[in-house]
A = this chain, B = another copy of it.
Amino acid sequence: MSILVDESTRLLVQGITGREGEFHTRQMVEYGTNVVAGVTPGRGGREVAGAPVFDTVAEAVDETGANASVIFVPARFAPDAILEAAAHNVPLIVCITEGIPALDMIDVTAFLETQAIHLVGPNCPGLITPGECKVGIIPGSVVQPGPVGIVSRSGTLTYEVIWALTERGIGQSTCVGIGGDPVNGLRFIQVLEMFEDDPQTEQIVLIGEIGGTAEERAADYIQEYVSKRVVAFVAGRTAPSGKRMGHAGAIISGGEGRAEDKIAAFEAVGVRVAEHPEQIADLIEEIRA
């Protein structure tokens, strides 16, 4: 078992003919992901990495029965791409695109709140179920199947943590990058709930960072609903207030979003917090011992 994606995932790639879209489509296909279709308006009829390209999601879904979509289109077209997939009831939408205006994402997520659709991202590396299905850009080479579920607001930091686990021989059930934007789709809490319900997942790693209060709410949720052991890491202990640390969401503002508060929130509910990424593997090893 795993969460969100597995061997049954039939993936559609929106923006498949773009540079990034095409590159990562090949990577995904190489990893073994079942890429069934691509969409680029005006480019219908082509093929990329063996997948037929359509002008619209409507056609792509009709023709191929795609049940997940990954989006590589530029920021100004990405909200529309998400909504197009949602309009055709694609139940999992993963938006890699960075730089979507927050106000656009308010509209998009408000619309999705009324739909039975999961959005991962935007501004995220996507997700991977090792050995089964990669949707997005997480390098297939760092993962291995196993018992640890990973959920993260970050990209390369996640790879770092996965790699630290893999090096110790600890594999992963599913790794989910929920993205670094202030307004996004799936949040920690929903992914924690999925891992809690997933029989393969034995421990959970949560990787947070400064900005917002998602980690504090995750801590509350863990105390209430999560029986599996969680190890956390929060990036940005040394980040100053008022400055955006790369991710649009990584900013301490209005007395909110400091790493120390997040760490305190986790520790208060018995979640062990690593001091640096590699220590996560130490802590998981201890727990599993």
Chain A residues in contact with chain B, CB under 8 A?
113-114
Contacts and interface: CB of A to CB of B under 8 A. Distances in A.
A83 to B, nearest CB: 16
Contacts of A113: 114
A279 B259 CA distance: 75
Contacts of A114: 113-114
Nearest to A113: B114
Nearest to A114: B114
A114 B113 CA distance: 10
A190 to B, nearest CB: 19
A198 B113 CA distance: 33
A interface: dominant SS: loop
A283 to B, nearest CB: 41
| 2 tightest A-B CB contacts, nearest first | A114-B114, A113-B114
A114 B110 CA distance: 11
A114 B114 CA distance: 8
Nearest to A110: B114
A113 B113 CA distance: 13
2 contacts: A113-B114, A114-B114
A65 to B, nearest CB: 29
A92 B113 CA distance: 24
A225 to B, nearest CB: 24
A113 B111 CA distance: 12
A115 to B, nearest CB: 11
A127 B114 CA distance: 31
A113 B110 CA distance: 13
A273 to B, nearest CB: 37
A118 to B, nearest CB: 19
A114 B111 CA distance: 11
A113 B114 CA distance: 10
A240 B117 CA distance: 46
